[in-house]
């Protein structure tokens, strides 16, 4: 049941996203589009409640419950960015909006971008770990929670990998070939991202 519900939530996410953006840009109904997009978190809430009920009814905690926690964590940490990324491209393609803003390529601007991205993945992993720990406490001594602990370990790997990537850009900031004009590139990148700074 949990796997099926995860699939339903994922399909529902894209259906609501397509519907919300279509109302906003194609039907020229921005308020209705925003209302549809605001329904996205309801999917994660339904999944969370269903997972808790499944465990309460005596289901053995296994990889499906861990996957549900990870899915919710991803939605919390990166869901907004995913919607924003698609929104920019949808607006450009169908509503004459400006071209999508690409991430900065060089220097400090790129380093900051990498840390922001790492922060979102870390938030996603921490939310997942918190939900997994709540499930461990919920199950208590009445069942095997080793699978849930295994998912927590995977989330630690996610955090570590993202920190390493961001640190690599901090220690060895990417520079344009030849080095000359790197400051100009950074300034251009910073100017290009200001109108669409991530919330």
Mean pLDDT of 176-187: 55
d(CA 91, CA 23): 12
pLDDT of residue 56: 84
Q: Report the pLDDT averaged over residues 125-147.
A: 91
3-class SS of residue 171: helix
Cβ contact 118:92 at 8 Å: no
Instruction: Report pLDDT for 193.
Output: 41
Q: Give 88-112 pLDDT, tens digit per residue.
A: 999 999 999 999 989 999 999 999 9
Q: Do residues 55 and 144 touch, judged by C-beta distance below 8 A?
A: no
Lowest mean pLDDT among 36-45, 144-153, 186-195: 186-195
Helix (H, G, I), strand (E, B) or coil at 180: coil
Could you report the per-residue pLDDT of 150-173, keeping only the tens digit for each?
999 999 999 999 999 999 999 999
Q: How confident is the model at residue 1 (pLDDT cuts 50, 70, 90)?
A: confident
pLDDT digits (tens, 9 = 90+) for 27-76: 999 999 999 999 999 999 999 999 998 888 888 889 999 999 999 999 99
- Look up residue 190 and give its two tokens: 């910073």
- Smallest CA-to-CA distance from 64 within 2, 125, 151, 112 is with 2
Q: Find, among 34, 15, 13, 14, the residue nearest to 23 by Cα.
A: 34
Percent of the chain with pLDDT over 70: 89
Domain boundary assignment for the chain:
2-196
Task: Give the model's pLDDT for residue 179.
Answer: 55
């Amino acid at each position: 049941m949990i796997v099926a519900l995860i699939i339903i939530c994922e399909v529902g996410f894209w259906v609501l996203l397509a519907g919300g953006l279509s109302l906003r840009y194609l039907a020229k109904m921005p308020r209705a589009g925003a209302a549809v997009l605001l329904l996205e978190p309801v999917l994660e809430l339904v999944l969370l409640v269903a997972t808790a009920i499944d465990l309460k009814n005596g289901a053995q905690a296994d990889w499906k419950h861990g996957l549900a926690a990870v899915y919710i964590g991803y939605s919390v940490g990166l869901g907004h960015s995913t919607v924003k990324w698609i929104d920019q491209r949808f607006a450009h393609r169908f509503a004459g909006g400006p071209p999508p803003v690409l991430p900065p390529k060089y220097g400090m601007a790129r380093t900051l971008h990498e840390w922001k991205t790492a922060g979102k993945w870390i938030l996603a992993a921490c939310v997942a770990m918190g939900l997994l720990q709540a499930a461990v406490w919920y199950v208590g001594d009445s069942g095997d929670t080793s699978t849930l602990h295994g998912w927590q370990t995977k989330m630690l790997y996610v955090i570590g990998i993202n920190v390493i990537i961001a640190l690599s850009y901090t220690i060895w900031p990417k520079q344009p070939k030849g080095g000359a004009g790197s400051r100009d590139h950074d300034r251009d990148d910073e100017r290009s991202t200001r109108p669409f700074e991530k919330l």
